Chains A and B, each alone.
Chain A
Amino acid sequence: MRSSSRPFYIYAVLFMLFLYGPILLAPLFSVNDSIFATFPLKGFTLRHYAEMANNTGLLKALRNSLIVASASSIIATAVSVPAAIALTRYKLRGSGLIMTAMSAPLVVPSIIFGVALLIIILRFLDLELTLWTIGASHVFISIPFAMTVLMSRLEGFDKSLEEASRDLGEGAWMTFLRVTLPLAMSGIVSSLLLCFVTSFDEFVLAFFLSGTETTLPVYLFGQLRFPNKLPGMLALGTTILMFSTLIVILAEILRRRGVQSNSPGEV
């Protein structure tokens, strides 16, 4: 390391401590044998984790979250694959504007979409709030993530492979199935995983659009009001944290391996 790098390196390490320190308190206190999240630590226990398995409210919310996240990640990815092909393979008028409009959910405060969707569902369409309404909103916020991942994958491989397929007489549909799709597969799986995590961790929209059935983050938020439930919720939070981290790392490995590759075999 060059000597000029050292202060930056120290800064970077401190930065990471600031970033991860507070988050790691949840796992730390979740195995602490006390109902308070305080130092000094008491004994080690996995009791709070074992108790989660008997908590019916939690298990129900978990089931709901899994349903909503699976459905919304599949739908968001399914509509984003053709859209990403269109934006990377065709020169379209207004594609810049479309890209900007599609990234709006990343920028506009989610509370705006939360209340706007609440208004149209309850006041205009007279529908009930169900898991469907949460899922629909999650499709919408997942699309920008899916588009980013898929477009970078589609830009990453050699377009002449598709041209070769066409020149050899394959139609557009067969070219898509036999060339584009296999090559884009790592991006598609990575998009599915990231959309799944986006939905699984999403709170604000789910909070506004929950009826009687709700998702895990909304359940967690509701339980945070009760101080005696804290250790259980820390255990739940830690589980969500570890699960999301695993999925993100997996998605990232797939995406990185795929971005600069012309071979579908590496998936």
Chain B
Amino acid sequence: MIQRRPDWLAGYGLLSPAIIIMAVMMVTPLLAMVALSFWTQQGFELDRSFTLANYFALVEPSSEPTYWMGIPFPLTYPVPAILLIKSLAMSLAITLAVIALAYPMAYFLAFHVRGQKALWLVLLTIPFWTSYLLRVFAWKIMLGFNGAINSGLKSLGILTEPLSFLLYNPLAVMITLIHAWVAFAVLPIFVSLDKIDRSYLEAATDLGDSRLRRFLQVTLPLSAPGTIGAALLVFIPTVGDYVTPTLVGGPSGTMIGNLIQELFLKQNNAPLGAAVSITMMVTIAAIVTLFLWLIGFRRLRSRAR
């Protein structure tokens, strides 16, 4: 091929519109949010002198601790800290449940389906593309006091009184989010299982490994990158989920996303909301980095290649 001009110049030229959009839409708003978190709201006016007050408000100690689930929070304004810990714990539980449910499905697709893989994959992807709002709202219809489960069981004669504990609690939020993410998590796990060289599995069997041992020693480690990828793809967005706790959480099911929304749109304290958002992001990033470092993600990924 004849080189008319440096390849890299043309390459970056072609990339530039997309990069400019990403920079304008992602980097500048995040920088603006960081700046705002160092300012203060005075009524309707914004005081633009630099202050750490918003961050200090999140950790300001108090001599009288507030208790949540038996854990003392010795803070003057404990709501953000409690909601952050609660959201992280709920997301962790959601992630574990999603992986536990998605892994066998991905395994089935990779090793037990021959002809109709494409059909199964399409069936798994359709719900992901269709309205998230609607999928969440479906659970409100399912779990409500006069919802599908209660009225269904009542009309079958199994219940005489509706169960009131189904909706408006953290468990309802978790079930809904598990349902919303489980199909999405199948895909990366499936990809890493599908890539496994079948001769490794035959070798393990030939050398006398039992099926369980073969799974634990060969299949599971080789599918780890996809599984970990899936876990992160579920964990990170669910911490900040706002729609689900709003619709099915009730007062006891609120998460950190609700607080952020409230600070911005209802309490008119955007600087504090920005500080909460940044604290949430930094915490998630720190947890993910620590997790990947602990399990030696680079090593796992290079081994699976």
Contacts and interface: CB of A to CB of B under 8 A. Distances in A.
A19 B182 contact: yes
Contact of B32 (A29, A92, A112, A120): A120
A83 B15 contact: yes
B29 A240 contact: no
A87 B15 contact: yes
Contacts of B125: 248, 252
Contacts of A194: 129
A163 B1 contact: yes
Given A11-B105, A117-B29, A237 B18 contact: no
Contacts of A116: 29-30, 32-33, 277
B63 interface: no
Interface string A73-103: 0000011101101110111110000100110
Nearest to A236: B134
B173 to A, nearest CB: 14
- Interface size class of chain A, counting residues whose CB lies under 8 Å from the partner chain: 35 or more
Contact of B134 (A92, A197, A237): A237
B138 interface: yes
B214 interface: no
Interface in B1-49: 1-2, 4, 7-8, 10-15, 17-19, 21-22, 25-26, 28-30, 32-33, 36, 46
A110 B261 CA distance: 12
B17 A119 contact: no
A89 B36 CA distance: 41
B132 A123 contact: no
A249 B130 CA distance: 11
A123 B260 CA distance: 17
Interface centre among B11, B12, B125, B154 (most CB of A within 10 A): B11
- Describe A's contact surface by its main secondary structure: helix
- Interface size class of chain B, counting residues whose CB lies under 8 Å from the partner chain: 35 or more
A179 interface: no
A106 interface: yes
Interface centre among B33, B101, B125, B241 (most CB of A within 10 A): B33
B172 interface: no
Interface stretch (A43-51, A54-62, A132-140, A182-190): A132-140
Interface string A52-74: 00000000000000000000000
A37 interface: yes
A262 B118 CA distance: 20
B183 A19 contact: yes
Nearest to A176: B14
A37 B142 CA distance: 9
B123 interface: yes
B141 interface: yes
Interface string A207-218: 010000000010
Given A115-B260, A166-B1, A203-B132, A11 B108 contact: yes
Interface centre among B18, B104, B107, B112 (most CB of A within 10 A): B18
Nearest to B182: A19
Given A20-B127, A112-B277, A197-B129, 8 more contacts: A25-B141, A26-B134, A29-B141, A83-B18, A85-B14, A86-B15, A109-B242, A109-B280
12 contacts: A19-B183, A25-B138, A29-B141, A38-B151, A83-B19, A107-B232, A109-B242, A113-B29, A116-B33, A119-B33, A208-B265, A241-B130
Interface of A: 1-2, 4-5, 8-9, 11-12, 15-16, 18-20, 22-23, 25-26, 29, 36-40, 78-80, 82-83, 85-87, 89-93, 98, 101-102, 104-113, 115-120, 123-124, 136-137, 139-140, 143, 147, 163, 166-167, 172, 194, 197-198, 201, 203-204, 208, 217, 220-221, 224, 237, 240-241, 244-245, 248-249, 252, 256
